[in-house]
Structure 1
Amino acid sequence: MPLVVLGDSEGEHLDPAHLEFYPSRIYPPLQLPLLPVKLCHWGVSLGEGDVGVLDRRGGAPLLHGAQREPRLLSLISVPCPLSAGTWCYDSQDPKCGPTHWKEMAPACGGPAQSPINIDLHLVQRDPTLGPFILQGYNAAPPGPWTLENDGHTVLLHIDAGPQSHLEIRGAGLPLPAYRALQLHFHWGGPGRAGSEHSLDGQRRPMEMHVVHMNTRYQSMGEARGHPDGLAVLAVLLVEQDTDNANFSVLVSSLKNVSERGVSVNLASTFPLASLLPGASGLSRYYRYSGSLTTPGCQPAVVWTVFEDAVPIGRAQVAQFQTMLQSGLPGSHPAPLTENFRPQQPLGGRRVSASPGASIRAAASAPAPTLAGVHAALLGLWLWQSP
């Protein structure tokens, strides 16, 4: 039968230009691949017409043998299969959570995955991990910066053109430099940890990732294909009673992107360094090679995890936990929480510590005492005696 796939996935936000072809009755999607089931919006016209499916991935309409005749539309929700590219967190739907990511992105089940726990007994000191050289981080760039709710996290797009380029180099990073593209956050539910990385098993309420691309590559797609393609600064966030004013501009804008797919320009930019550890804290960090923590999980990331956590107000954390909605296609809006990937096996990878970072000596056997040596020799003599 004829099929029309429309480009909008949320019935209440349909683009009228796409409301062209709908069925006079509902055809269950029995012929479609049996993937995890979600609710999908189907159109019902008042006259004869073709069946219409709202594509949960968005994009331009895909038309198949439809009549070009506008129809009056009402919407109902019926089960339909998840598209092959859909992924989510367990808090959104376990059927498309992290254990299933490898089904759509094989690298998610491969080696060198992130995040990890950093065991301070196993890290190795690396004297080549010197200070960072930050370009443009200490001033408010022209912008504009765009805040976006993509249904999985809230992103701040900070690469607004040549005049706004922020770059990092040094600190043992591959040459030539890395340009900042965006930052985003991971968090838990109320009263629960939400960071992806941990130090000695201790997770924090939130984690911020500042994502950079190696300037030797022309696009994110190209960079994701190389082990030195991306550099991510991971900042653990710890709660305090009072708000951190450095997060105020960002947090106050969360209400404007509460729904999935919405983006707004921030009223103003700010020095990005204000969200990082202080000058001394920038010298205390851990380094390892890993992957993106979302599909496709490409092992293309040089990770820097700072030892020093940055404070954020308890009420500000609550804004992330309650203001943003995940809004998976076909589902009722729900607070976006616990958007972190479970930790992955280290698998023999080396984790290095900068000269200023903490390490813990591995437990060793106590040195033998003189009395212990005498006792051992006496025991050996008695054992050898006839």
Structure 2
Amino acid sequence: MGTQGLGITFLTLPLVVRAAAGGQWCYDSQDPKCGPSHWKELKATCGGDKQSPVNIDRRRLQRDGGLGDILFEGYDQAPPGKWRLANDGHTVMLSLASESTSEHITISGGGLPGRYRALQLHFHWGSPAGNGSEHTLDGRQLPMEVSETPNTNYNTIVAGLRNVSHAGDSVDLASTFRLSTLLPRTGQLSAYYRYQGSLTTPDCSEVVVWTIFEEPVEIGREQLQAFVSTLHFPAAGPTLLKMTNNFRPPQPLRSRKVFASRAATASGGSPCGGHCQLLSPLLLLALLGPFSPTP
């Protein structure tokens, strides 16, 4: 198995992945005939001018002094209720229960125009040679430190993977947990990049405000392997395919600009210091997908 990268996307809209109208979409690892290069044939919006992911070129960033601290409310406590983990055939997705549970888990500040509820998160992974973390930084995936020691913050999710091995499977997790444990360290949450983009799956709606953190998050090597070895795409005839390389390649930036927060690295250097340059397994942690405003 080649080295893998794992990406996490927090979404705040009860819509994440769905088949494009008029046909089925897939990833190249399933069938190149319905992979990302063909999505715009199924859904015209996938050929728009504000598509995601993109490569973030730090030499061309524009500093935005208005991009300050992001305020996370409710992320520092495990809420009551149950969270559901599901294999939807394209990714593994964690739904943060009902509105009554998620209404106290909110995001604001950081240049956002309102206060928003966090409703779900999902994952992407793949080979660095194939830009498996979706967004790239200076043409490379954003780095993650993969440790021989498991990151206990991921234990609940990883333990649930065995119950969602096949498309359509879902399970209620044994417990909820603090979402802050999946984020960069508190002192690093002010260093991020921001741009206007789209969902990275059909229908590729251009309604996403992307926030991409510089700080890497650690995950255990065996935990990362669990995503690769446990999950499967829908069966293609008698063949059951491992769910791998479930990412969309970077899309043209076109006329858009990527903005750097006040604390972000705008040009040169490594986003996590020199130690990350020695590590090959990688992670992208992207926060704030399309938003569901609070009442």
Q: What TM-score does the superposition give when structure 1 sets the normalisation length?
A: 0.62
8 A contact 1:138–1:272 mirrored in 2: yes
1:332 to 239, 254, 262: 239
Question: For residues 309-340 of structure 1, what are the alpha-carbon distances to aligned partners after superposition, in whole Å with 9 as ceiling and x for unaligned?
Answer: 11111111111111001024545211100000
Aligned AA for 2:33?
Answer: K
- What is the 5 A alignment of 1:299-338? 299-328=206-235, 330=237, 332-338=239-245
8 A contact 1:189–1:321 mirrored in 2: no
Q: Which residue does the alignment assign to 1:47?
A: none
- What is the 5 A alignment of 1:199-218? 199-204=137-142
Q: Which residue does the alignment assign to 1:279?
A: 186
- What is the 5 A alignment of 1:1-386? 84-165=22-103, 166-175=105-114, 177-189=115-127, 194-204=132-142, 237-328=144-235, 330=237, 332-360=239-267
| SS of the residue 2:94 aligns to | strand
| SS of the residue 1:169 aligns to | strand
Alignment partners' CA distance in 2, 1:292 and 1:190: 21
8 A contact 2:128–2:141 mirrored in 1: no
Question: For residues 350-383 of structure 1, what are the alpha-carbon distances to aligned partners after superposition, in whole Å with 9 as ceiling and x for unaligned?
Answer: 111111100117xxxxxxxxxxxxxxxxxxxxxx
Q: CA deviation at 1:84?
A: 2.9
> Alpha carbons of 1:247 and 1:112: their partners in 2 closer, same or farther (altered >3 Å)?
same
> Alpha carbons of 1:158 and 1:237: their partners in 2 closer, same or farther (altered >3 Å)?
farther
| SS of the residue 1:267 aligns to | coil
Alignment partners' CA distance in 2, 1:167 and 1:331: 44
Q: CA deviation at 1:163?
A: 3.3
Q: Which residue does the alignment assign to 2:8?
A: none
Q: Which residue does the alignment assign to 1:17?
A: none
Alignment partners' CA distance in 1, 2:92 and 2:149: 22
Q: CA deviation at 1:162?
A: 1.3
> Alpha carbons of 1:198 and 1:331: their partners in 2 closer, same or farther (altered >3 Å)?
farther
| SS of the residue 2:118 aligns to | strand
Question: For residues 78-112 of structure 1, what are the alpha-carbon distances to aligned partners after superposition, in whole Å with 9 as ceiling and x for unaligned?
Answer: xxxx9933110000111110011011110111101
Q: What TM-score does the superposition give when structure 2 sets the normalisation length?
A: 0.80
| SS of the residue 1:185 aligns to | strand
Alignment partners' CA distance in 2, 1:188 and 1:180: 25
Question: For residues 39-59 of structure 1, what are the alpha-carbon distances to aligned partners after superposition, in whole Å with 9 as ceiling and x for unaligned?
Answer: xxxxxxxxxxxxxxxxxx99x
> Alpha carbons of 1:192 and 1:317: their partners in 2 closer, same or farther (altered >3 Å)?
farther
Alignment partners' CA distance in 2, 1:83 and 1:349: 28
Instruction: Give the CA RMSD over aligned residues.
Output: 2.1
8 A contact 1:143–1:158 mirrored in 2: no
| SS of the residue 2:218 aligns to | strand
Alignment partners' CA distance in 2, 1:301 and 1:143: 28
Question: For residues 264-293 of structure 1, what are the alpha-carbon distances to aligned partners after superposition, in whole Å with 9 as ceiling and x for unaligned?
Answer: 000000000100001111110000000000
Alignment partners' CA distance in 1, 2:97 and 2:138: 34
Q: Which residue does the alignment assign to 2:285?
A: none
Question: For residues 10-33 of structure 1, what are the alpha-carbon distances to aligned partners after superposition, in whole Å with 9 as ceiling and x for unaligned?
Answer: xxxxxxxxxxxxxxxxxxxxxxxx
Alignment partners' CA distance in 2, 1:288 and 1:117: 11
Aligned AA for 1:287?
Answer: R
Alignment partners' CA distance in 2, 1:313 and 1:352: 31
| SS of the residue 2:186 aligns to | coil
Q: Which structure has the bigger radius of gyration?
A: 1
Q: CA deviation at 1:151?
A: 0.9
Aligned AA for 2:106?
Answer: E
